[in-house]
Chains A and B, each alone.
Chain A
Amino acid sequence: MSDDVKNNSSLKTNFRSVMLRPDLGAIVGVVLVFLFFFLVARDTGMFSLEGSMNWGIVSSQFIIIAVGACLLMIAGEFDLSVGSMIGFAGIVIAVTSVVWGWPVWLSIITAFVVSMSIGALIGYITVRTNLPSFIVSLAFLYILRGMTIFIAIISTKKTIIGGVTEVAENDWLAPIFGGEIFTGVFDWLGEKGLIQTFVAGTKAGQPVVSGIPMMIVWAIGLVIFAHFLLTKTRFGNWIYASGGDAQAARHIGVPVNRVKILMFVFTAFCATVFATTQVIEFGSASADRGILKEFEAIISVVIGGALLTGGYGSVIGAALGAVIFGVVQQGLFFIGVESSLFRVFLGVLLLLAVILNTHVRKLITGAK
C-alpha cells in the first residue's frame, strides 16, 4: 500500500519535471510539424535529400540568430537591432573588400570586430542607463539600418554591392562561412548511387547535394557551444541568475553587468555569422538584408520555452523553435500554400507559446 503511494508520488514528480522542461513545447511542436508535413508533403520531394537540405539551410539561418537571442533573453535582455546588424555587417564586408580592395579575410574580421563592439555599446548603454534594452536596441535598429544604407550609398551610389565572390576566391577565411564540408563523402555516395546525381547539364554525374553547407555547420556548432555554456559552466549559472533576478545576483557577487554586455556581444557575433555566410553565399551584400530577423529570432526563442522576462529558457528549445520556423516556411512552399499564410501561422504559434510559457512559469515559481 505504502509502496503504491510512493510509486504514485514519484510518478507525479517525474511527470512534473517533464512538464517543466522549458523545451517541451518545442519538442512537441517539432514532432507535430514533421508529422503533418510527412503526411501531406511526402510526395513533393520535401523529404528527399535535396528537399531536406532546403529546409535544413533555412532552419539553420533561423537557428544562428535564435541562439544569440536565446542566451540574451535568458540573461534578461532583448536585442531588436539584430536584423539591422545583419545588414550592417554585410555592407561592411562588401565595402571594405570590393570597394576598398581589402583582403576578404580582413573584411570579415573587421565586420566581426565592429559589430561586436556595437553589441558591447548597446549592452553598456543598457546596463548604465538602466533603460529597457527593448528601447535601447530599438534605437540601434534605426541607427544601424540608416548607417548601412548611408555607407552603401556614399561608397557605391547603390544599396546592393556585388562582386564579393570574385574577390573572395582563394581567400582562406571565406570558405569557413560559404563553403561546404564532407564534399568527398557526398561525391562518394553519388558515385556509389546511394544518393541522386544530376543526369544532364554541366553538373552531370555530380551528386545533387554536394556537401554540408557551412551555414548548417555554424548552426550546429553554435547550438552545442551555447547549450554547453548555459547548462554546464559557471558562467551559464550567471546568465540564468542575471536574468532571473539581477539584484539578487549582484548581492551575491555575480558580475551581472559584465554578463549582460557579453551576451549583447554574443548576439552581435551571431548576427555577423549570419551576415557573413549570406554575403559569401550570394556574393553580394544588400543594405536591406535582415529586416524583421530580430523578431523571428525572438519568436523562435519564445516557442523554445524561454520566458520573455528572463531567467529561464533552453538553447535546444530555441533551436527547435527555429526548426519549426524553417520547416513550416519551406513546407508551405512545397505543398503550394500561399506563403503569406506563414505569417498567420507564426502569429498564432507565438501566442500559444507565450500562454503556455506563462503557465509553466506559474508552476515553477509556485505563484498562483
Chain B
Amino acid sequence: MSDKSIMQLSNIHKSFGNVDALKGVSISIKKGECHCLLGDNGAGKSTLIKIMSGVHQPTSGEIMIDGRPVEMSGPRDAINSGIATVYQDLALIPLMSVARNFWLGRELTKKVGPITVMDFEKCNSILMSEMDKIGIKLRDPSQSIGTLSGGERQTVAISRAVYFGAEILILDEPTSALGVYQTSNVLKTIEKVREKGVAVVFISHNVSHALAVGDKFTVLSRGETLGTAKAGEINYEELQFMMSGNKELSELKARN
C-alpha cells in the first residue's frame, strides 16, 4: 500500500445560495484503502460525493488526482479521471436488462457494413464472466435488473465500475436499504474490490457496516470534517458518539 494519495480534497467549500453545505472539507484517499465517510443526514455527505464525482463543482477549494489539480465540469470528467460512483438508488435502471445496464454509456460496438451496431455477443459473454467472478448467478444477460435483489444490483453496479477501470470507487450508502444477508454480500464485494488496489470511498451512516470493511473513518458533521481515524484506533461507541453531533474534536485530534 503506497502512501501517496490517489485523490486529495483540500479545504472544499460549497454553498447553494445562502446555504453552506460544505465548510472547508479536506480528505485524502489512498489506493487499496476503504475510506469510510460517516455522518448523519444533512452532514454534507451527498454534497461531498457529488463534488468528488463531478456532478457539483466546489465553490472553493482544490481537488487533486494523482498529485495533479483537476477541475471536473461534469460526471464525464470524473469518469475519465478514473472515478466511478455507485449511487444508492440511481445505480441501475430496473426496466433494462443486466447487459444493457452493464454496458450503458460504454457500449461495445462493431461494424456491420457501414452501420455501427452494439456487439451483443461480446457484451454478453464478458458480462457473464464478470458476474461469475463476483459471484452472481445470472440466468440470462437479457433478464431485467428488476429481477435481481437489492444486494445483487449493488454488486452488479460495483463490478461494472471496476470492470471499466475505476481507480476510485465511490459508494453512496450501498447497504442502507439491504437486509443482513445481502449487506454481507455487498461488504464482501467491497473487500474483493479493495484487494485489487481500488480506492473505495464508502459513504454510510451505519457505523457497524463501516467498521466491517473500513481502513479509515472520516466523520462529517454540518459540512465539516470532525477528523479522520484509522481502523483499530476508534471503536463503535466513539464513532456513533461523533456522528450524533457531539463534537469531541480535541479528543480525536489527539489520537491522530
Contacts and interface: CB of A to CB of B under 8 A. Distances in A.
A253 B118 contact: no
B205 to A, nearest CB: 21
25 contacts: A232-B117, A233-B118, A234-B116, A237-B118, A240-B95, A240-B100, A241-B104, A244-B93, A245-B93, A247-B90, A248-B92, A249-B93, A249-B104, A249-B105, A251-B90, A252-B75, A254-B104, A312-B95, A364-B94, A365-B94, A365-B146, A366-B146, A366-B147, A366-B148, A367-B146
DSSP class of B's interface residues: helix, strand, loop or mixed? loop
A331 to B, nearest CB: 34
Q: Which of B95, B104, B140, B148 has the most CB of A within 10 A?
A: B95
Interface in B238-253: none
A359 interface: no
B87 A251 contact: yes
Given A237-B118, A241-B93, A245-B94, 17 more contacts: A17-B142, A236-B118, A237-B104, A237-B107, A238-B104, A240-B93, A245-B90, A248-B91, A248-B92, A251-B53, A252-B79, A253-B76, A253-B79, A253-B105, A311-B95, A364-B144, A365-B146
A365 B90 contact: no
Contacts of B91: 248
B139 A13 contact: yes
Contacts of B93: 240-241, 244-245, 248-249, 311
A42 interface: no
Interface in B30-70: 53, 55
Contact of B104 (A13, A252, A307, A312): A252
Interface string B148-168: 100000000000000000000
A313 to B, nearest CB: 10
Nearest to A13: B139
B225 interface: no
Contacts of A20: 144
B151 to A, nearest CB: 13
B70 to A, nearest CB: 17
Q: Which of A238, A251, A253, A365 has the most CB of B within 10 A?
A: A251
B75 A364 contact: no
A43 B196 CA distance: 73
A241 B118 contact: no
A250 interface: yes
Contacts of A248: 87, 90-93
Nearest to A243: B95
Q: Which of B76, B96, B116 has the most CB of A within 10 A?
A: B96
Contacts of B92: 248
